[in-house]
Structure 1
Amino acid sequence: MAISKKRRRRGCLSFIFIIGFLLGFPFLWDRALDRFYAGRIYEPATLPRAETAIVFGARVYSSGRLSSMLRDRVQRAIDLYHAGQVDRLIVSGGVYDDGTSEPVAMKNYAIAQGVPEAAIVVDEGGLRTYDTCYRANAVYGVTEAVLVTQDFHLPRALFTCGALGINAHGLSADLRTYSERSMQFSESREFAAKLRALYDVVRRQPPSILSS
């Protein structure tokens, strides 16, 4: 009887430990990514030079106007190009059901700011961060790049691209204070997306769109 009680107690403690770990892991993973990749996020003056800047897509309105977050991402990349810190931009994102293309809108904005069209790679297969990083390496041959996006997104982008063979450096595109509603949505979505990123890089499945 005493042995049976001990076994039940050990089993109960093991179960509690497993449940506690499963509940706590997402928070630990979120914090670990932020802390580990903080050292790979640079200011423009200290940013290592790279051939390529990867600009991650975000919302584009049906008129072709970029959302404020996306405009800041593209503007950061434009500034890098004009400063001679990168030679080309990969603008990556998806295409909406109405035909609106995030990368084409990003390209048009960059061209209007003086970036030659020949220096811009349009990647319409970047439906997710994982897809963008995977395609940058597998389709466009990128092995080193500057990743341009907002602070909340950079740790996941750096982790994903790094796991997929890209020596990545992060540059924050936080050029303004975004609305509280926008930030709450982005940060809550990012928490779950960081877990998905771990699953993605372990699974290492090719994206749905792999051709250029």
Structure 2
Amino acid sequence: MTALVFLIGGAILAANIWIVARTQDRIESDLLVCAAEPVGLVFGTSYWARGGGRNPYYTARLDAASRLLRLRRVQHLLLSGDNRTRFYNEPVTMWRDLRSANVRNTDMTLDYAGFSTFDSLIRAKKIFDVDRVLLITQDWHLPRALFIADALGMEAKGCAIPTYPTAGTWRLRIREWLARVGTLGDLYLWDRQPYFLGPREPLQMTPF
């Protein structure tokens, strides 16, 4: 039993080291020097924190996305998130808050079927014809997202969003460690497919 625990732990550690090593050189933590790309992909997350109040990860992603657009590090934002019910709609919530921050409607496209990181990226590639992209999310999320983008043949860079530490961050990081292992299975073992694809909708980008 002890040997099995060590074997599983070693596999998890090895998978994480490999994914981080393959992607770390394409992650910037300063918005001012994040790579300039045509499209910024903003990953959806809940507006509300589990313990109540506004989710700081959501706020940080939206603040960074609007700043990157103003800095012209990206030309267009693809807002990808969960739209599971009419009471829970991550893309529309992001769109409303960005409109309140004076982001033009023509500078945003909503992806209503970004049910996971995997789905958001494969839909960006196959539905919205995105080949070059700046991924906008927290530093602990970027290695997995970049690794998936690489597997899909996308030219992707990561912009790590400044976020103040909050209670429960350690749970997210542990979950992310496990999710990275699952990603290897998705890509190389059980040929995971997105929940929903649909027809192609190439992005329509408006000049600044």
Instruction: Place the TM-score, normalised by the shorter chain, in its bin.
Output: 0.7 to 0.9
**Structure 2, unaligned runs of 5 or more:** 200-208
Q: State the secondary structure of the residue aligned to 1:91.
A: strand
d(CA) in 1 for partners of 2:6, 2:73: 46
TM-score by length of 1: 0.83
TM-score by length of 2: 0.84
Q: Does 1:137 align with 2:122?
A: no
Q: In 2, are the aligned partners of 1:66 and 1:106 still within 8 Å (CA)?
A: no
| Partner residue, 2:109 | 121
> Aligned pair count?
193
1:28 aligned partner, one-letter code:
A
d(CA) in 2 for partners of 1:134, 1:20: 34
d(CA) in 2 for partners of 1:153, 1:24: 21
How far does residue 98 in structure 1 lie from its aligned partner after superposition? 5.4
How far does residue 99 in structure 1 lie from its aligned partner after superposition? 2.2
How far does residue 104 in structure 1 lie from its aligned partner after superposition? 0.6
Q: 1:19 to 1:75 in 2, by over 3 A?
A: closer
Q: Does 1:185 align with 2:171?
A: yes
d(CA) in 2 for partners of 1:96, 1:67: 19
* Structure 1 ranges of 4+ moved more than 3 A: 16-23
2:166 aligned partner, one-letter code:
S
How far does residue 18 in structure 1 lie from its aligned partner after superposition? 8.9
Q: Does 1:31 align with 2:17?
A: yes
| Deviation string, structure 1 residues 126-153 (Cα, Å, up to 9, x no partner) | 1110000000000000001000110110
1:189 aligned partner, one-letter code:
R
Q: State the secondary structure of the residue aligned to 2:74.
A: coil
Higher Rg: 1
| Partner residue, 2:62 | 74
Identity among equivalent positions (%) equals: 25
| Partner residue, 2:77 | 89
| Deviation string, structure 1 residues 41-63 (Cα, Å, up to 9, x no partner) | 0133332211100011111249x
d(CA) in 1 for partners of 2:165, 2:83: 24
Counterparts of 1:1-212 in structure 2 under 5 Å?
21-42=7-28, 43-61=30-48, 67-97=55-85, 99-174=87-162, 176-181=163-168, 183-202=169-188, 203-211=190-198
More helix per residue: 1
d(CA) in 1 for partners of 2:146, 2:43: 12
d(CA) in 1 for partners of 2:104, 2:159: 22
| Partner residue, 1:10 | none
**Structure 1, unaligned runs of 5 or more:** 1-15
d(CA) in 1 for partners of 2:196, 2:88: 17
How far does residue 36 in structure 1 lie from its aligned partner after superposition? 2.7
How far does residue 165 in structure 1 lie from its aligned partner after superposition? 1.9
How far does residue 23 in structure 1 lie from its aligned partner after superposition? 4.0
